Structure 1
Amino acid sequence: MANPFGKTRDVENPYAVYVGYHNEIGPIEIRILKRYKGSVKTEAKDQYARWFTAAKSDATFGSWEYGDQYAGMIRSCYKLSRAEPEWLEQYRYDISEGVEAIVATV
């Protein structure tokens, strides 16, 4: 199966957006621009599975910082705020009812 999230996207058109809060730097937004593993199953078996991301917080002074982050860390520490329908289908266990409702209206 081909990786449907294998092509790098522009920061304005991410596959998914995760948000959270860090006590030392405040609110954080992480946009997923590429997934390296071919499937959620192969990603789940690898604690070092990573995503190419763009992140913004008060510490970045309004600029996007690009780089790889561990997928498991993002999924466990941040909340999915919006995503492409294909992302929602594969990562549905990360989603609360409220997020699905928000995404459906976008």
Structure 2
Amino acid sequence: MKNKLAKIHNKAAEVSELLKLMAHADRMVVLCLLSAGEMGVSELREHTKLSQSAFSQHLGVLRKNELVKIRKESQQVFYSLADGRVSLLLNALQQAFCPPDESDKE
């Protein structure tokens, strides 16, 4: 039990920081969209109500903290999730808050 408690204390700050990064509503939308697979930056942008500048800043935060990665193809930039822990957390959150309904099965 002592070792487990020490591990919890050691990881608490790391987990807290990850959750803080994910906790912003606009970043959460981006991460949820990317949980379905890679998307182009312009397609991601279409799903937000943010200005171009604010959207770019949020993507920068996600990139800087290595939650997403980019792939460039010619003039296009594609984003995808870079951290497997984010995928696991998003799956749990989607099951808890966005369970599939009958219309999702069509």
TM-score w.r.t. the length of structure 2 is: 0.27
Larger radius of gyration: 2
Structure (1/2) with the larger strand percentage: 1
